[in-house]
Structure 1
Amino acid sequence: MSVLLFVLGIVLVALGLGVSIALHELGHLLPAKRFGVKVTQYMIGFGPTVRSWRRGETEYGLKAIPLGGYIRMIGMYPPHKGEPEGTVREDSTGMFQQLADEAKEYESSQYGPEDAHRTFVALSVPRKLVVMLGGPVMNLLIATMLMTVLACGIGMPEVTPRVQSVSQCVLPADAAADASCAGEQEAPAMAAGIRPGDEILRIDGAEISTWDDVTTAVRAAGGREIDVIVERDGERLDLTATPILDDRPVYAADGSAETDENGDDVTEEVGFLGVSGTPALVRQSPLKVPGMVGSAFVGTAKVVVTLPVRLYDVAVAAFGSGERDPNGPVGVVGVSRLAGEIVAADEPGFALQQKVASLISMLASLNMALFVFNLVPLLPLDGGHVLGALIEGVRRAFARLRGRPDPGPVDMSRMLPLTNAVALLFIGMTVLLIYADVVNPITLF
């Protein structure tokens, strides 16, 4: 059964990623057709065509290698301008210029004069931006939708005010996990009669709605008697506790323990009660979704910016004996493996709800990655075409200000050598990640 569940996880994430890619390309297709551009192909995948069908002037289909997709628009490069017969351009024999000329000649051969007004290069700058940004924006919308479902429909992991455990005694913050309570002071919560399963409602007159409320109230009440109101089996109980002053770790905003220059935990003397809350998935307000999306964007952008360093670390781990960074980049094999582990997991407390939440979170992260990565201003990524359109807009604006003729569209075919180099780097990155995911995979459990 676990093998079947593992395969099911792979299938689910593959379907989710496939739909995300299809919608990304739809984000390019719809505005292109709306603006009158002739779109000849809409394909999911690369390589040999598995199946295709034609609707009007566009061929739709599936390719054998499901690692992306594309739409083909006529006139991505501007045609040669007319020149007097016998004119020889200075760079006509250069390798780079030859690549550009061949690309433009091929583009021009795909349509006749009657379709010249329906080319991509014939679009205005704003319309070019809409077409090229349509794909990444679609991924952003998918990520936002999935995060909304996750946060508002399923819930985010939180520690709730329902008591999970009560300490028997007061032990030092650095005590071993198996330390004995022999001869130690009884914990204030135990002495007050607080028991596992109690729902904490009020502490020292303060209303309790989150575990942070419990922590704040208890830490401020060290050394004095306070009222604690709990609900047990539907009944409200008024209890009295006296949190002791004790050295406890100082935690940062992200929940990690702060350390000093020597690596030791930073502590402070605060109130200690001796209870722990119950982890659970708690539904959030829709108002929190924009913050989640912003945090995901910033985190993903940091990964993309530091990608060369992270890929070096992946290579060291893949070809050496080091461990993979669990927050580092993973390839399609690694993503599939993680999805399989999630669905097949038989861990305590990792029920169906947590599995669904994990898969949704994974797909949201993948779509955010597609959004950010495609904004990188390099061809063949969408961001490269966006940069070309912006340069074109600036050139035309300066020409108008100076009273000069329209310089026309930017000739992106001149960037083909760089485009090919970037494409080779992407292929190398993909191969490296696949190899690392096979020989030294990231695992969850």
Structure 2
Amino acid sequence: MNTFINILGVLLFAFGIAVSIALHEFGHLLTAKFYGMKVTRYFIGFGPKLFSFRKGETEYGLKAIPAGGFCEITGMTALDEVHPDDRKRAFYNQKVWKRVVVLSAGSITHFILGFIILLILAMTLGLPNNKDQPVLAEITPCVQNHTVGLTAPCQPGAPAPAKDAGLQPGDEVVAIAGKPISTWSEMLTITRELNGPTEFKVLRDGKEVALSVNVPKVTREVLDGKGGREVKEVGAIGVTWQQNFEYSPLAAVPASIAFTGDMFVNTWKGLMRFPERIPAVVQAIGGGQRDLDTPISVVGASRLGGDAAERGLWAFFILMLAGLNFFVGVFNLLPLLPLDGGHIAVNLYERVRDWVRKLRGKPAGAPVDYMRLLPLTYVVIFIGGAITLLTVTADIVNPIRLQ
């Protein structure tokens, strides 16, 4: 049964990727048609054609290899041959801002789709506590030594520090023993060193409340700093961490907007660190330990989707789909050909160049010769293909799996 759910999760995630690609190209199609440009073909996939149909001047279809898609707009560059009847509607004859909108529509579609996914997640399973906020989810009836079991019924005389102090679910701890804290990790580190009555300040309904918590010492298995675990006496108060925040439909909108901003920042940071993580992928292929922070391919992402489905981690599954859309959207805007961002850069360059020439009393310059940019384009394609091959290979021989 678990294997079936895993396979189903892989297929669902792959389907989600395919839908994202289809909507990316559909974004180009809709905006191009909106501005009166001629779109001749809209296909999902590459390779042999499986089927197609024509509606108006556009042929819509599906190809055998579901690894992308394309939207063919007449006259993408001034070098393209265009029938005289279509010249006014050719892409290169439109105003620059219209061209930029059409070129960026694919990425914008990914951003909108990612936001919608997060909005649905916020109203259902909840958004993850990605900032590690020290918000309490549950107050346990007592704390006990690890030999008894953290979820075992409370033994006679077992202390209940959080419960006795009046801590409540939803409280956000802001200070311990006069020391401000901002994360759950900080709270754990400080609490483990405590013993006896200690002041905890929490935010409750927007107001700061000070409570005295009598922190006991109990035995716990903790990391020893060398990759192993050791039994140690630590302070514990009997609370659990709020992993997800659920929102009402009204509150979900600003929460999703804020979370989207965080994902944009994290995506950009990840892209900037992308090159330095490639050596770790090569080492993983050679048998080294696979770093959880290494890049993964569509294959690896789909396998993680299967693992998430098997373990019932649907919030993580959905969050990965949102993250994938943000990553593809941002990556596609990089100013490199053949990415959309490369075409945007060329069009903006022509606009700025012609503006400068106009100030100098000169006529507009000739369109950029894409043939002269082919060597650079081939380099980008080669590097992209090599990275894809590396990540796919690593995801097959040494995949990242959910533990």
TM-score, normalised to structure 2, is: 0.78
Residue 216 to residue 165, structure 1, CA distance change in 2 (3 Å)? farther
Aligned mates of 2:22, 2:177 — CA distance in 1: 48
Matches within 5 A, 1:309-348: 309-318=276-285, 320-345=286-311
Aligned mates of 1:342, 1:39 — CA distance in 2: 39
SS in 2 for 1:166: coil
Aligned mates of 1:160, 1:307 — CA distance in 2: 35
Q: Aligned-pair distance for 1:141?
A: 0.9
- Code of the aligned partner of 1:314: V
Deviations along 1:407-444, whole A, 9 cap, x unmatched?
24333332122212212222222221111111001000
Equivalence for 1:30: 30
Residue 226 to residue 418, structure 1, CA distance change in 2 (3 Å)? closer
Matches within 5 A, 1:335-414: 335-345=301-311, 352=312, 355-414=313-372
Equivalence for 1:416: 374
SS in 2 for 1:51: strand
Residue 214 to residue 419, structure 1, CA distance change in 2 (3 Å)? same
RMSD over aligned Cα, in angstroms?
3.5
- Code of the aligned partner of 1:275: G
Equivalence for 2:255: 288
SS in 1 for 2:338: coil
Is the 8 Å Cα contact of residues 166 and 276 (structure 1) preserved in structure 2?
no
Deviations along 1:99-124, whole A, 9 cap, x unmatched?
xxxxx3xx31xx31121111111111
- Code of the aligned partner of 1:359: F
Residue 223 to residue 387, structure 1, CA distance change in 2 (3 Å)? same
Q: Aligned-pair distance for 1:282?
A: 2.7
Residue 382 to residue 240, structure 1, CA distance change in 2 (3 Å)? closer
Matches within 5 A, 1:4-403: 4-78=4-78, 104=79, 107-108=80-81, 111-157=82-128, 160-164=136-140, 166-168=142-144, 190-191=158-159, 193=160, 202-203=166-167, 209-212=170-173, 224=197, 242-243=214-215, 274-277=237-240, 279=242, 281-284=244-247, 285=251, 286-318=253-285, 320-345=286-311, 352=312, 355-403=313-361
SS in 2 for 1:66: strand
Aligned mates of 2:319, 2:136 — CA distance in 1: 21
Equivalence for 2:207: none
Among 387, 399, 402, the alignment partner of 1:441 is: 399
Is the 8 Å Cα contact of residues 110 and 325 (structure 2) preserved in structure 1?
yes
- Code of the aligned partner of 1:160: L
Q: Aligned-pair distance for 1:311?
A: 2.0
Is the 8 Å Cα contact of residues 136 and 239 (structure 2) preserved in structure 1?
no
Aligned mates of 1:385, 1:216 — CA distance in 2: 57
Residue 14 to residue 240, structure 1, CA distance change in 2 (3 Å)? closer
Aligned mates of 1:50, 1:201 — CA distance in 2: 67
Deviations along 1:377-418, whole A, 9 cap, x unmatched?
111101001101110110121122112112243333321222
Is the 8 Å Cα contact of residues 211 and 277 (structure 1) preserved in structure 2?
no
Residue 226 to residue 436, structure 1, CA distance change in 2 (3 Å)? closer
Aligned mates of 1:194, 1:245 — CA distance in 2: 11
Deviations along 1:125-166, whole A, 9 cap, x unmatched?
111110101100110111111112222332134563422463
- Code of the aligned partner of 1:48: P
Is the 8 Å Cα contact of residues 165 and 276 (structure 1) preserved in structure 2?
no
Q: Aligned-pair distance for 1:306?
A: 2.5
SS in 1 for 2:63: strand
Residue 163 to residue 422, structure 1, CA distance change in 2 (3 Å)? same
Correspondence 1:427 to 2:394? no
Residue 389 to residue 165, structure 1, CA distance change in 2 (3 Å)? farther
Is the 8 Å Cα contact of residues 121 and 409 (structure 1) preserved in structure 2?
no
Is the 8 Å Cα contact of residues 161 and 211 (structure 1) preserved in structure 2?
no
Deviations along 1:156-210, whole A, 9 cap, x unmatched?
34563422463337xxxxxxx6699xxxxxxxx944x558xx6x8945xxx8633
Aligned mates of 2:346, 2:66 — CA distance in 1: 28
TM-score, normalised to structure 1, is: 0.71
- Code of the aligned partner of 1:52: S
Deviations along 1:223-242, whole A, 9 cap, x unmatched?
658899xxxxxxxxxx9853
Is the 8 Å Cα contact of residues 136 and 241 (structure 2) preserved in structure 1?
yes
SS in 2 for 1:324: coil
Residue 423 to residue 213, structure 1, CA distance change in 2 (3 Å)? same
SS in 1 for 2:144: coil
Report which of the two structures shows the higher radius of gyration computed on alpha carbons: 1
Aligned mates of 1:116, 1:372 — CA distance in 2: 32
Aligned mates of 1:419, 1:165 — CA distance in 2: 63
SS in 2 for 1:40: strand
Residue 215 to residue 277, structure 1, CA distance change in 2 (3 Å)? farther
Deviations along 1:259-309, whole A, 9 cap, x unmatched?
9xx99xxxxxxx956213265533144323233212211221122222222
Residue 208 to residue 18, structure 1, CA distance change in 2 (3 Å)? closer
Which range moved further: 364-373 or 10-19?
Answer: 10-19
For these two proteins, the number of residue pairs brought into alignment is: 356
Residue 227 to residue 27, structure 1, CA distance change in 2 (3 Å)? closer
Is the 8 Å Cα contact of residues 161 and 214 (structure 2) preserved in structure 1?
no
Equivalence for 2:154: none
SS in 2 for 1:397: helix
